[in-house]
Amino acid sequence: MDKILILDFGSQTTQLIGRRIRELGVYAEIIPGDAAVTDETLADVKGIILSGSPESVYSPDGEVPDQRIYSLGLPLLGICYGIQRMTVDNGGTVEALPEREYGSLEVNLTVPDDPGKLAGGDAAAAFFSGFDGTVPLDAIRGSTAAKSKPGASFSINSWMSHGDTITKLGRGFRQFGTSLHGAPAVLVHEERPWFGVQFHPEVTHNERGTEIIAGFVFGVCGCKPGWSMEQYIEEVRASLGQRVGANPVLLLISGGVDSTVAGALLLKTLNPDQVHLMYMDTGLMRKNETETVRVNLERLGAKHLHIIHCENEFLSALKGLTDPEAKRKAIGDLFITIQEREVTRLGLPDSYFLAQGTLYTDLIESGKGIGKKAHLIKSHHNVGSPLVDAKRKAGRIIEPLDRLYKDEVRSLGRILGIDEDVVRRHPFPGPGLGVRILGEVTKEKCDILRDADAIYIEELKKRGLYDEIWQAFAVLLPIRSVGVAGDVRKYSWVLALRAITSDDGMTADVYPFSMKDLLEISTLITNTVTDIGRVTYDISSKPPATIEWE
Ligand SMILES: Nc1ncnc2c1ncn2[C@@H]1O[C@H](COP(=O)(O)OP(=O)(O)OP(=O)(O)O)[C@@H](O)[C@H]1O
Ligand SMILES: O=c1[nH]c(=O)c2[nH+]cn([C@@H]3O[C@H](COP(=O)(O)O)[C@@H](O)[C@H]3O)c2[nH]1
Ligand SMILES: NC(=O)CC[C@H](N)C(=O)O
Ligand SMILES: [Mg+2]
């Protein structure tokens, strides 16, 4: 399958570049900007995109790509920092602009009379077709590359976000587009299939952005669309079958979207007899969760469903712990310890494989699968635990969704015939209420939070808001505050409500509730859950906050 490699220099919109390309039906993989580009990385790669960055190319923190990319003969597209980087790496200069270019800005571009002589052949004309308002996207995606007319001029409304500009072009580059302020905006190399744009075609506000990316992906790189969920299923079938043979596969399943889809995928691509689903009731689950999950999992058609009750073990492991990372680690390790114990009890042979519903974003956030600059934000229980890492190194872990984003997992779930109710469920983290009860976790606090959270979620459903929100939940704060109820002094817990919108959980905005909904939900909670005396609404986006509080 043809692939586009994206070097991530830390831009907020790198994820979007990948998403646009996948939406076009081509597989895109993101690696750190400074990662070594090995032969293994390059398998099936038809072109490389260099992303934007919050850093400047002249700053010591500005990452430098593996210089090998310039001698591979592969097409390159630099976006913002990416083209600034390609400029500096090839002898040009970048300097700070006196006035930054932010937001919408017109870019004017003239196709040369001899595009065929540029960038080593037809590539340049194909690239320019992305800017040509008369060329439809389908033509750009078509089997013969769409080409722009020599000498044609275009003007597009671009979306800019930079404070630096190219002041001397890199060796071999020519400038074809200019921003309204006169800054270089579109560059093409004279001999090599190298391109650069100073704006961000990946954002939806950029006019013809998708077409410009498509011009590169199809016209320049010659990619064939090969990325679809149906094909993904076939690929998993082939690779999984080969890897696991007839050995048993044990999937840790939470009833959440990811692991349920992973379960359905395993049941569909392997022999259902070899697939074991194991759900743990950690005591950190939501109200009535175990029952709901049991019903949903039985519907999947699993032959071996193991429901493990281990509430007390999790609560004891968490006793006295208040530090978020210590809590996460304790929970992550216990998942594996219990799983190993249960495997012995069930009598599975040593040759079994452990499967998880890990997503691409889980790996990124836990600082895995990406390079040395990646920061650990929080250890997702299924990734950060040393026990899981050891198993992963030993090649005993199967994560059939680890290249997918949440919304892709949802469409895969629909293809696999999973109920819409399950597919649309808000994500629920493995450590569950353990990271939503700030500070020490106790059974009593779990019960209070369970009640409050259930009211909140039920209200969102009743009010038709659940599907508008990407994730909503309640958090129990480690503070009590004074109140008055029935003329009596109350000293009770403070609850925070969280509701966010997002595409993939990597960034999030606060859901703008109507004040009426918030007030009514708050009253309902304090009137019903007597241990809660005060309700607040979390109005922080991600970044700078994260979605969960711990
Ligand atoms: N209670 C649980 N029992 C068994 N496995 C679990 C449990 N909670 C989480 N896991 C495992 O950890 C993985 C990651 O959890 P995560 O919450 O990211 O995914 P999910 O629960 O499947 O989906 P969602 O993100 O929609 O909640 C799951 O896919 C599953 O393999
Ligand atoms: O399975 C999981 N195990 C974890 O340890 C974990 N921590 C956070 N999350 C979920 O990931 C998304 C991003 O969360 P944060 O902004 O809090 O990092 C949100 O959807 C979170 O609910 C987790 N999921
Ligand atoms: N968005 C970007 O890639 C910005 C690049 C660089 N930090 C600049 O300000 O020009
Ligand atoms: Mg979950």
pLDDT confidence of 64, banded at 50, 70, 90? very high
Question: Same structural domain for residues 451 and 417?
Answer: no
Please indicate, yes or no, whether residues 168 and 192 belong to a single structural domain of this protein: yes
Distance CA 276, CA 267 (A): 9
Specify whether 207 is located in the same domain as 234. Answer: no
| CATH code for position 66 | 3.40.50.880
DSSP 236: H
Question: How far away, in angstroms, is 6 Cα from ligand 3 center?
Answer: 17
Tell me, yes or no, whether 517 lies in a domain: yes
Ligand 3, residue 62: give the atom nearest the CA.
7
The CA distance from 288 to 474, in Å, is 16
Residue 431 lies in a domain: no
Q: How many CB atoms lie within 10 A of CB 465?
A: 17
469 and 521 together in one domain: yes
Point out the residues that are catalytic. 80, 200, 202
Whole-number Å distance between alpha carbons of 200 and 102:
11
Task: Show Cβ contacts of residue 50 under 8 Å, excluding neighbours closer than 6 positions.
Answer: 7, 9, 33, 65, 76, 77, 78, 79, 81, 82, 83, 85, 86
| Cα of 449 from ligand 3 centre, angstroms | 43
CATH number at residue 307: 3.40.50.620
- At position 37, the amino acid (one-letter code) is V
Are 70 and 207 in the same domain?
Answer: yes
On the question of pLDDT at 253 being above 90, the answer is: yes
Residue 548 Cβ contacting ligand 2 at under 6 Å: yes
Amino acid 294 reads R
Q: What is the pLDDT of residues 427-473, one digit of tens each?
A: 999 999 999 999 999 999 999 999 999 999 999 999 999 999 999 99
Ligand 3 pocket mutation pick from 61, 83, 164, 165 by most atoms within 8 angstroms of CB: 164
Show the tokens assigned to 245: 């043979």
Q: Which atom of ligand 2 is nearest to the CA of 549?
A: 17
d(CA 522, CA 143): 57
pTM beyond cutoff 0.90: no
Which tokens belong to 450? 């369970």
Nearest-atom number in ligand 1 for the CA of 262 is 29
pLDDT above 90 coverage of the chain, percent = 71
| Identity of residue 240 | L
Q: According to the model, what pLDDT value does residue 204 have?
A: 82
Mean pLDDT on 107-126: 83
Question: Dmax of the chain from CA atoms?
Answer: 86
pLDDT band at 403 (very low <50, low <70, confident <90, very high): confident
Interacting residues of 411 by C-beta distance below 8 A, sequence separation 6+: 229
At 481-526, the pLDDT tens digits run 999 988 889 999 999 999 999 877 777 889 999 999 999 999 999 9
Residue 547 domain flag: no
What pLDDT is stored for residue 243 in this prediction?
A: 93
| Total domains in the fold of the chain | 3
Residue 375 has pLDDT above 70, yes or no: no
CB of 365 closer than 6 A to ligand 2?
Answer: yes
DSSP run (H or E) holding 365: helix 360-365
Q: Which domain holds residue 396?
A: 229-423
Q: Is residue 112 part of a domain?
A: yes
Mean pLDDT of the region 135-149: 86
Q: Which residues line ligand 3 (CB under 6 A)?
A: 11, 52-56, 80-81, 161-164
The amino acid sitting at 501 is T
Whether residue 395 sits in one domain with residue 347: yes
On whether both 212 and 249 belong to a single domain, the answer is no
**Closest by alpha carbon to 232, among 337, 134, 360?**
360
Ligand number nearest to the C-alpha of 282 = 1
The answer to whether the beta carbons of residues 477 and 438 sit under 8 Å apart is: yes
Mean pLDDT over residues 391-398, rounded? 86
Ligand 2: which of 260, 335, 364, 380 to mutate, most ligand atoms within 8 Å of CB? 380
Among 220, 248, 277, give the residue marking a domain's end. 220
382 and 233 in one domain? yes
Q: What is the pLDDT of residues 281-290, one digit of tens each?
A: 999 999 999 9
Strand order in the sheet with 397-398: 304-309, 275-281, 249-252, 353-355, 397-398
Does residue 550 have a pLDDT over 60? yes
CATH number at residue 497: 3.30.300.10
ipTM computed for the complex: 0.88
399: left (phi over 0), alpha (psi -120 to 50) or beta: beta
Which two tokens mark 159? 């979306």
Q: Which residue has the tokens 């106790």?
A: 442
Q: Each residue of 343-368: pLDDT tens digit?
A: 999 999 989 999 999 887 776 655 55
* CA gap 463, 460 in Å, rounded: 5
DSSP-assigned letters across all residues of 344-356 = HHHT--TT-EEE-
The answer to whether 497 and 535 are in contact (CB under 8 A) is yes
Give the percent of the chain with pLDDT over 70: 95
What is the pLDDT, as a whole number, of residue 288? 94
> At how many degrees (to 10) do helices 406-415 and 257-269 cross?
50
In a domain, 26, yes or no: yes
> What's the chain's average pLDDT?
91
pLDDT band at 384 (very low <50, low <70, confident <90, very high): low
C-alpha distances in Å from residue 340, one per residue of 131, 252, 278, 357, 526? 56, 11, 11, 18, 42
Ligand 1 test: best mutation among 259, 293, 297, 358, most atoms within 8 Å of CB? 259
Same domain, 85 and 212: yes
Tokens representing 291 are 């029952």
Question: Helices (H) and strands (E) in the chain — how many of each?
Answer: 18, 18
Q: Compute the distance from residue 375 Cα to the ligand 4 centre, in Å.
A: 22
Q: Which residues does 533 contact at the CB level (< 8 Å), separation at least 6? A: 480, 481, 482, 483, 485, 490, 491, 492, 493, 494, 526
From the CB of 422, is ligand 1 less than 6 Å away? no
Q: Verify cis geometry, omega within 30 degrees of 0, for the bond prior to 272.
A: no
Instruction: Output the CA 85–ligand 1 centroid distance in Å.
Output: 40
Same domain, 495 and 408: no
Q: Is residue 430 part of a domain?
A: no
Domain boundary among the residues 202, 220, 238 is at 220
Could you tell me if residue 410 is inside a domain?
yes
Claim to verify: residue 407 and residue 499 sit in the same structural domain: no
Please report how many Cα atoms fall inside a 13 Å half-sphere around the Cα of residue 526, on the Cβ side. 22
Tell whether 266 and 361 lie within a shared domain. Answer: yes
Instruction: For 328-402, list the strands marked E by DSSP.
Output: 353-355, 397-398
Task: For residue 304, give both structure tokens.
Answer: 């071996």
Distance CA 128, CA 220 (A): 10
- Output the CA 258–ligand 1 centroid distance in Å: 7
Last residue of a domain, one of 220, 246, 272: 220
Reference 382, options 547, 251, 249; nearest CA is: 251
Residue 67 lies in a domain: yes
